[in-house]
Amino acid sequence: MKTKKYLLAAIISLSSLIFLASCNVKKQAVGNEDDIIVFADSLEYYNLEASLLTVFNKIIYTPQPENLFNLIRKDLSALEKNKYKKNIIFIAPLNSNSEVARYIKSLLSNDVKKLIYADSVSVINKYNLWADNQLVMIITSPTIEQLNKNILKESENLLYYFQKISNDRLFKSLYNSRYEQKKVEAKLLKDYGWMIYIQSDFILALNKPEDNFVWLRRGPGTEMERWIFVHWIDNASPALLNKDSIYAIRNRLTEKYYRTSDDSSYVEISDDYKTTKEVNFLNRYALMTQGLWRMKDGSMGGPFINYTFYDEPTKRIYMLDGSIYAPKYYKKKLIQQVDVIMRSFLTKREIDKKRYEELMEELEE
């Protein structure tokens, strides 16, 4: 009987532990990737809206105009219904007595409040506060006037935080080792000293070692195509990192390899909406170029994103480029997908020994 009692007690104890553990497991954050729930007093939001829209409602042309993020204001009374959303902002000045301001003050320690009153801090991020893969951002300042200034001053950081976690979430949803083309990845790594994550529905459309050019393609001949190419220049000079060189190199490559089936036309960069700016790409200084491509004869077009950087250890310039052709669809999410895949790029020295050996084994099977 004692044995049975001890066994029953053990089962109850184990069940309790499992129950407690399950209670501590957070839900996955929910909602659209590009929606940001903004908890703000209606009058304060009216005074802050222009600054917030300047940061988050930037338009990208695909060529349709699409907003990077959509701001959805809510009263604090709606918190319980929205606390599991992916992207959340609480915003109010600390000198306010609004409900949101009081809530923000309840979340902050006295030391943090001192930094805010000294105008040393205006943005506080809390990750996974109520749900996994969630970003809750607090934006505050001593006064609403200072808050408006700080929103604009921190604009690049504010946008970066939400873009970064959105990219991280997207990569988790895209990456699946079961559908990874490890043999192709291993071949590129062995032959060229770099690799990129290749989903099962991409094909290696072109592999041109004489031009240091690899083209990955998804959905050829359909109404939703995605293209990624990797090009590299050996023994290169960092002086090539300028927008004119990038435009010239890309146009030279696409004129040669991105051609119509009858060879009558080819892809080039459109003069509309193209921008080039300095960015941190995979912990490297890089130039990011965004814009529209078009066929020379005007028959087709779409958006592209390009990262070009100098890799000091190998003395190479790398160009990673993603394009979309999807005339019947909004394309912002599609261009984000190729962007995220390009961010899986690794040179041989960046791959740990175990993973390298596993990939090389793929070539032996």
Q: What is the CATH number of the domain that holds 224?
A: 3.40.1000.10
| Domain-located, residue 14 | no
- Provide the domain limits for residue 281: 177-364
> Are 121 and 142 contained in the same domain?
yes
Amino acid at 221: G
Check whether residue 160 and residue 189 sit in a common domain. no
128 and 263 fall within a common domain: no
Pair 183, 253 in one domain: yes
pLDDT value at residue 24: 58
Any bridge partners for residue 137, and if so which?
A: 89, 125
Residue ending a domain, among 173, 189, 215, is 173
DSSP 180: B
Same domain, 229 and 275: yes
Q: What is the mean pLDDT of each run of 10 residues along the chain (365 residues)?
A: 42 39 72 96 97 93 91 97 98 96 95 93 95 97 97 95 95 86 95 95 96 96 94 95 96 96 94 93 96 93 97 96 94 94 96 93 84
Pair 299, 163 in one domain: no
The neighbour count for residue 2, using CB atoms within 10 Å, is 6
Say how far residue 279 (Cα) sits from the centre of its chain: 13
Q: pLDDT at position 7, please?
A: 38
- Residues 52, 77 within the same domain: yes
Q: How many domains does the chain have?
A: 2
Of 282, 295, 188, nearest to 232 by C-alpha is 188
- pTM score: 0.85
Q: Same domain for 160 and 185? A: no
Q: Which pLDDT does position 1 carry in this prediction?
A: 47
**Tokens of residue 105, six digits:** 């003050």
Q: Is 234 found in the same domain as 89? A: no
Dist CA 292 CA 274 (whole Å): 7
Residue 19: inside a domain: no
Q: Is residue 15 domain-resident?
A: no
Using CA atoms, how far residue 339 sits from 52, 171, 207, 271, 281, in Å, is: 25, 10, 21, 21, 11
